[in-house]
């Protein structure tokens, strides 16, 4: 079941490091407690987001899921701003 | 910097240039900005003393100041990531702070796929060309003489061999694998398919040792003692079971009397091939002992040049990047050969020094005899990282 979210960031087609750079920026503009849904096509984003939230001060990785859209793998990340 | 794409003024360093500097041991400070898991799995290695630091690119995004402080001052920095985007991003940040930063073109992926070609010998009778994948520690050879060429232990991508043979003006006549490999996908069947030249492998290796299933690829069985002629070079197969049941060494004798022993995963310059990758370490170790103490020695002279299929550390390559040494040098310097006094002592030493068994090695052997047919992406994944075919040092 997909978590509830407040905003979506579409970074389909963006290559590393852009999914993470844009997510960092978008999280900063979100109210504390809100959840950002990030839709990426870069497979490396899965491991990188897991590593990032360990280093990040105010981001929590709520969930990650892999889906498909017209034959293309989508990597969806749910991030909560915690502070 | 725009968020749409990375724009950088940092110079791109090709993997081939990185390799030259690793051989010279004058590489810049290497900053690997991948995540720690990927870094732990596989990284750039050079000669002893090379420092590679891991600071993930998102650490720069979170706290640029703190991340930059982890880079030694006053040194040129080569930034490395998976494909190159993040390394461009970080290199640009560093340059804005006055640090001389470049990035590895194509990322560690291009390092992993770098093929390096060098002459082992170039003589009136012909050439022995070394073709290596330095990131994996994989080494293969082309023997070219009088317009004929034999390839020994070819690696997965066939283009480097076609280029080498074209440059040597030689046509492929024989393709040999010293054994069915576990760490990398052989280029042998593909080269055979492209050229029509026969692919030779010992029949004992044409059965998957764990699945107990026979090969489905086309191959020509090798015999112990079988002799081939490649131009003016005589090539003899010497059965050397242990690492696999069907491993052979090839002894090349040139018309000037010089001798070259292609040991495959038999004797390496600083170690030797482990006997457990078929899942039968205890049963195969005595075979390996027999090969090392009885089968091979009659063919060795101190002047015979040992040319193995792997290195474990770049220090095994000389300044010119050649991974070879005379038997006289190897028998003195290879400390793992000091345990051959008795079969019992040898077994104790071997079975006590087995490195981890990479699980994908069972699958790679399947691929190499045709039991599996991976996509390019799956093949890349199977071959990720450096070989672990040698006994631990």
In a domain, A2, yes or no: no
B residues 61..100 contacting A (CB < 8 A): 61-62, 81-83, 85-86, 89
Q: What is the rounded radius of gyration, in angstroms, for the C-alpha atoms of chain B?
A: 22
| Minimum distance, in Å, between the CA of residue A39 and any CA atom of chain B | 16
- B58 close contact with A: CB closer than 8 A: yes
- Tokens for B241? 């079971």
Nearest to B79, CA basis, from B92, B69, B96: B92
- Chain A CB contacts of B62 under 8 Å are 24, 52, 55-57
What's the number of CA atoms in the CB half-sphere (13 Å) around residue A29? 8
Fold of B115-382: Metallo-beta-lactamase; Chain A (3.60.15)
| Minimum distance, in Å, between the CA of residue A60 and any CA atom of chain B | 14
Among A2, A10, A16, A21, the one annotated catalytic: A16
Q: B186 by DSSP, 3-state: which?
A: coil
Peptide bond into A17 cis (omega under 30): yes
Q: What is the ipTM of this complex?
A: 0.94
Residue B138, beta-bridge partner list: B133, B310
How many A×B Cβ pairs under 8 Å? 57
Q: A17 vs B85: CB contact, 8 Å cut-off?
A: yes
Q: B58 vs A52: CB contact, 8 Å cut-off?
A: yes
| Minimum distance, in Å, between the CA of residue A18 and any CA atom of chain B | 7
β pairing state of B29-32 and B77-80: parallel
Q: B5 vs A18: CB contact, 8 Å cut-off?
A: yes
What is the domain partition of chain B in residue ranges?
A: 12-111, 115-382
> Which of B35, B62, B86 is the closest to A57 by Cβ?
B62
Task: Give how far Cα A52 sits from Cα of B2, B50, B56, B123, B285, Å.
Answer: 21, 27, 8, 56, 46
- B38 close contact with A: CB closer than 8 A: yes
In a domain, A58, yes or no: yes
For residue A3, the model assigns a pLDDT of 84
Edge-first strand order for the sheet with B116-123 is B116-123, B126-133, B138-145, B148-152, B171-176, B199-201, B220-221
For residue B5, the model assigns a pLDDT of 60
- Chain A CB contacts of B5 under 8 Å are 18
Report d(CA B238, CA B230) in Å as an integer: 17
- The average pLDDT across A2-16 equals 93
- Tokens for B377? 């992406």
- B37 close contact with A: CB closer than 8 A: yes
For residue B393, the model assigns a pLDDT of 66
Q: pLDDT in tens for each of the 393 residues of chain B?
A: 444 566 789 999 999 999 999 999 999 999 999 999 999 999 999 999 998 999 999 999 999 999 999 999 999 999 999 999 999 999 999 999 999 999 999 999 999 999 999 999 999 999 999 999 999 999 999 999 999 999 999 999 999 999 999 999 999 999 999 999 999 999 999 999 999 999 999 999 999 999 999 999 999 999 999 999 999 999 999 999 999 999 999 999 999 999 999 999 999 999 999 999 999 999 999 999 999 999 999 999 999 999 999 999 999 999 999 999 999 999 999 999 999 999 999 999 999 999 999 999 999 999 999 999 999 999 999 998 899 999 986
- The average pLDDT across A37-55 equals 95
| Beta carbons of B268 and B308 less than 8 angstroms apart | yes
| Minimum distance, in Å, between the CA of residue B86 and any CA atom of chain A | 5
For residue A76, the model assigns a pLDDT of 97
In a domain, A71, yes or no: yes
| Minimum distance, in Å, between the CA of residue B295 and any CA atom of chain A | 49
- A83 close contact with B: CB closer than 8 A: no
> Is A16 a catalytic site residue?
yes
| Minimum distance, in Å, between the CA of residue B43 and any CA atom of chain A | 16
- Tokens for B38? 């990927």
- Chain B CB contacts of A50 under 8 Å are 35
In a domain, A64, yes or no: yes
Output the DSSP codes for B154-173.
--S--HHHHHHHHHTT-EEE
**Angle of the B281-290 helix axis to the B343-351 helix axis, nearest 10:** 130
Q: Helix %, strand %, coil % for chain A, to 5?
A: 25, 40, 35
| Beta carbons of B244 and B280 less than 8 angstroms apart | no
- Chain A CB contacts of B3 under 8 Å are 18, 21-22, 25
> Which of A16, A21, A51 is the closest to B82 by Cβ?
A16
- The average pLDDT across A68-77 equals 93
Q: Nearest-5° angle of CA B26, CA B27, CA B28?
A: 120
Question: Domain span at residue A28?
Answer: 7-81
The catalytic residue positions of B are 81
- B103 close contact with A: CB closer than 8 A: no
The number of residues in chain A equals: 83
Class of domain B12-111: alpha beta
Q: A55 vs B5: CB contact, 8 Å cut-off?
A: no
For residue B2, the model assigns a pLDDT of 42
- A56 close contact with B: CB closer than 8 A: yes
Report d(CA B343, CA B289) in Å as an integer: 6
- Tokens for B227? 């002799």
Q: B56 vs A25: CB contact, 8 Å cut-off?
A: no
In a domain, A1, yes or no: no
CATH number at residue A64: 3.30.110.40
pTM to 2 decimal places: 0.93
What residues have CB less than 8 Å from A11, skipping those under 6 apart? A18, A19, A22, A23, A38, A39, A40, A41, A42
CATH topology match: B12-111 vs B115-382: no
- Chain B CB contacts of A44 under 8 Å are 82-83
Nearest to B269, CA basis, from B116, B130, B109, B125: B130
Q: B3 vs A57: CB contact, 8 Å cut-off?
A: no
Instruction: For B58, name the nearest residue in chain A, comparing CA atoms only.
Output: A52
- A24 close contact with B: CB closer than 8 A: yes
Question: What total number of domains does chain A contain?
Answer: 1
Instruction: For B57, name the nearest residue in chain A, comparing CA atoms only.
Output: A17
């Amino acid at each position: 079941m997909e978590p509830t979210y407040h905003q979506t960031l579409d970074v389909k087609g963006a290559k590393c490091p852009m999914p993470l750079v844009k997510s960092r920026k978008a999280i900063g503009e979100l109210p504390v407690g809100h959840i950002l849904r990030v839709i990426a096509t870069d497979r490396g984003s899965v491991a990188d987001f897991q590593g990032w939230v360990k280093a990040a001060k105010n981001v929590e990785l709520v969930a990650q899921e892999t889906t498909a859209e017209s034959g293309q793998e989508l990597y969806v990340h749910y991030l909560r701003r915690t502070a | 910097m725009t968020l749409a794409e990375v724009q950088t003024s940092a110079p791109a360093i090709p993997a081939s240039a990185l390799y030259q500097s690793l051989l010279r041991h004058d590489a810049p400070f290497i900053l690997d900005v991948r995540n720690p898991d990927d870094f732990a799995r596989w990284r750039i290695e050079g000669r002893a003393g090379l420092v590679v630091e891991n600071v993930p690119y998102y650490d720069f995004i979170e706290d640029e100041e703190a991340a930059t402080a982890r880079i030694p001052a006053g040194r040129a920095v080569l930034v490395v990531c998976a494909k190159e985007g993040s390394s461009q991003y970080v290199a640009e940040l560093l340059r804005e702070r006055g640090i001389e930063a470049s990035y590895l073109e194509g990322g560690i992926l291009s390092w992993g796929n770098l093929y390096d070609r060098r002459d082992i010998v170039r003589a009136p009778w012909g050439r022995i060309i070394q073709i290596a994948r330095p990131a994996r520690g994989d080494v293969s050879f082309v023997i070219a003489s009088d317009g004929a060429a034999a390839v020994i232990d070819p690696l997965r991508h066939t283009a480097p061999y076609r280029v080498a043979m074209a440059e040597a003006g030689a046509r492929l006549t024989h393709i040999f694998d010293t054994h069915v490999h576990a760490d990398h996908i052989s280029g042998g069947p593909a080269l055979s398919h492209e050229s029509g030249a026969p692919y030779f492998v010992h029949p004992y290796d044409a059965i998957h040792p764990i699945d107990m299933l026979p090969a489905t690829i086309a191959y020509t069985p090798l015999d112990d003692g079988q002799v081939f002629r490649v131009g003016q070079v005589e090539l003899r197969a010497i059965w050397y079971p242990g690492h696999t049941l069907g491993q052979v060494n090839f002894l090349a004798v040139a018309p000037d009397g010089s001798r070259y022993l292609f040991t495959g995963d038999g004797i390496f310059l600083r170690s030797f091939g482990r006997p457990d990758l078929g899942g039968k370490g205890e049963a195969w170790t005595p075979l390996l002992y027999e090969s090392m103490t009885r089968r091979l020695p009659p063919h060795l002279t101190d002047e015979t040049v040992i040319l193995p299929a792997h290195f474990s550390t770049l220090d095994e390559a000389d300044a010119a990047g050649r991974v070879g040494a005379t038997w006289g040098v190897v028998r003195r310097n290879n400390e793992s050969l000091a345990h051959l006094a008795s079969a019992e002592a040898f077994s104790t030493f071997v079975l006590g020094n087995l490195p981890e068994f990479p699980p994908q090695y069972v699958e790679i052997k399947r691929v190499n005899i045709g039991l599996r047919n991976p996509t390019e992406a799956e093949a890349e994944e199977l071959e990720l990282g450096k070989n672990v075919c040698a006994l631990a040092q």
